[in-house]
Amino acid sequence: MSAPSTPPCSRSRETRETGAVLQMQSFSVNDGEGIRTVIFLPGCPLRCRWCANPEAWTASPKLAVSHAKCIGCGACEAACPASLFPPRLESPAASGCSVCGACVKVCPAGALKILIQEMSVAEAARRVERDALFFRYSGGGVTFSGGEPTAQAGFLRALAREFDSRGFDMALETCGFFVWDEVEDVLALMSHVFYDLKHMDAAVHRELTGAPNELILENCRRLSRLGIPITVRIPVIKAVNDTKENLEAVCRFMTENLPGASIELLPYHDFGREKYRAVGLANQRHDGYVRPEAHEMEAAEDLFRRRGTTVVRYR
């Protein structure tokens, strides 16, 4: 599945009081300063070949099947209106599954789970409010992640306005592939943005993610001009984007366009391997990517330090 060459554009700054939420994770310390609640908003315009979260590519509910947990009892088959027997399916949705949840309710092994739920701004705010005390004492707040949060721009806007009215600090994690005019006002509410740069070569970027990087780089420049602190994040993959040529290109881009920005280098991992099979996307998984060695990560970080860029580590 390839990504579009340009992101969808509604040419409006609408708000939506409900939206799709993949997960709300409390007590995170890896997504900004202090203790944070991370809200994962599904939907993403890119299809990165190494993606660890394929369940977040679209905002539609999905039935996830843990094949390792399945005990083959047949309870799901008996409960399913279409008799699909989800655990034996590599792609439940493609086989006509309506994600009604009947099988989930009767599974004694907990092998079935519905991912992504519709949530209102009010409900999200109630859940986040529970963590407000920890925000105040740790300097934390809310971080929007994905998927790609800007893919649900109207819902993101409504959430951001609500949390801003409550005095919550907010941060955003983004791939940068969005229409600037649709989200500029939302970006202005953020105290920090974590910005992914997958690869600096436009052709290679398109091959790896399904989309070009010109818009991503231009949005990053614009973001910097707003004065919002930026941490560039690179998912470092051996022999893919950890080359001296690519890393030096990132250095030049940051020096010329992102004064004061820091960088975080994240070594590749394959923790999402089983997710592809669980949500019926096993045929879209790309293998063969390699995690850099510790000394290679240190060398990459040193390259940025020597050029005066602050290297941060949340991991």
> Closest by alpha carbon to 40, among 155, 131, 137, 192?
155
CA distances from 247 to 173, 230, 242, 299 (A): 21, 17, 6, 11
d(CA 36, CA 33): 8
C-alpha 308 chain-centroid distance: 28
pLDDT for residue 88? 56
E strand or H helix that includes residue 274: helix 273-278
Task: Identify whether the C-beta of residue 208 lies closer than 8 Å to the C-beta of residue 231.
Answer: no
DSSP state of 94: G
Q: What is the reported pTM?
A: 0.92
Domain extent listing, the chain: 18-59+120-306, 63-115
Residue 65, token pair as written in the block: 């099947």
CATH code reported for the domain at 63-115: 3.30.70.20
pLDDT for residue 2? 53
pLDDT for residue 11? 52
The alpha-carbon radius of gyration of the chain (Å, integer) is 20
d(CA 187, CA 195): 12
Look at the domain 18-59+120-306 and name its fold: TIM Barrel (3.20.20)
Phi, psi of 64 (to 5 degrees): -100, 135
Which residues of the chain register pLDDT less than 50?
Answer: 1
Same fold, 18-59+120-306 and 63-115: no
Query: Terminus-to-terminus CA distance in the chain, angstroms?
Result: 31
Can you say whether the dihedral through the CA atoms of 10, 8, 117, 143 is positive or negative?
negative
